Amino acid sequence: MLDFAKSDGLVPVIVQDAQTLEVLMLGYMNEEAWHKTQAEKRVTFFSRSKNRLWTKGEESGNFLEVVSLHIDCDQDTVLIKAKPAGPTCHTGTRSCFKTDYNQNFILELERIIDGRYNFPTEESYVNRLHNKGVHKIAQKVGEEAVETVIAALYETEKEFISESSDLLFHLIVLLREKGISLETIAKHLESRHQ
């Protein structure tokens, strides 16, 4: 149960991309916003500047669809994992927090690849790989692995980075082809170290 009394009726809310785990924004909720968010499965804040409830995306259409809600140990802060329907920040960026790069771009890449599978287009390289089937994709992963090893042993750092990127990209495509998510791989790796 959230404790709204600690902070004059408002609790801070951290919104995180449910897939990439990127922090998207910080806002505040009163009890009414909290209940509306739970009922509608869209993030609603109490806007201190507007002095009213404000559903993120009500004007832009860039809603934050709730995936999960988490209350901290002191029951005075909320973490919401959400699926953004577009840029979160009013400046047009994914996040209100500026960083040098998206630290979780590999998870974003998984989402992009998934989108290519769900909405195929002829010009999509991912779609062309998918159409060739699992054998061709697996073969491509093998080729990229060999090229990565060669680059590590005999080529420049720039070439090694390029080949490593190609290998990782094709491995993510192969995982998607097999219906396995990066989350599944991460959980498996984590279980090895418990």
Question: What tens digit of pLDDT does each residue of 118-156 get?
Answer: 999 989 999 999 999 999 999 999 999 999 999 999 999
Taking residues 80-101, report their average pLDDT.
88
Q: Which residues pair with 46 in a beta bridge?
A: 53
pLDDT tier at 92, thresholds 50, 70, 90: confident
Answer for the pair 45, 54: CB distance below 8 angstroms, yes or no: yes
Residue 20: pLDDT over 90: no
Q: Phi/psi class of residue 25: alpha, beta or left (left: φ > 0; alpha: ψ in -120 to 50)?
A: beta
pLDDT tier at 26, thresholds 50, 70, 90: very high
pLDDT tier at 1, thresholds 50, 70, 90: confident
pLDDT > 70: percent of the chain? 99
Place of tokens 């919104």: 15
Q: What is the mean pLDDT of the chain?
A: 93
Q: Which residues pair with 12 in a beta bridge?
A: 28
pLDDT tier at 22, thresholds 50, 70, 90: confident
Place of tokens 């996040």: 95
Residue 63: pLDDT over 90: yes
The pair of structure tokens assigned to 69 is: 């809600």
Is 27 exposed, middle or buried (CB count within 10 Å of its CB: 0-12, 13-18, 19+)?
buried
Pairing mode of beta strands 23-29, 11-17: antiparallel
Q: Specify the pLDDT at position 155.
A: 96
Query: Distance of CA 94 to CAs 28, 29, 71, 103, 112, Å?
Result: 19, 21, 24, 13, 14
Residue 8: pLDDT over 90: no
pLDDT tier at 184, thresholds 50, 70, 90: very high
The pair of structure tokens assigned to 123 is: 């010009």
Cα–Cα dist 6/10, whole Å: 8
pLDDT digits (tens, 9 = 90+) for 65-90: 999 999 999 999 999 999 999 899 98
Place of tokens 């998984």: 110
What angle do the packed helices 157-177 and 182-191 form, to 10 degrees? 100
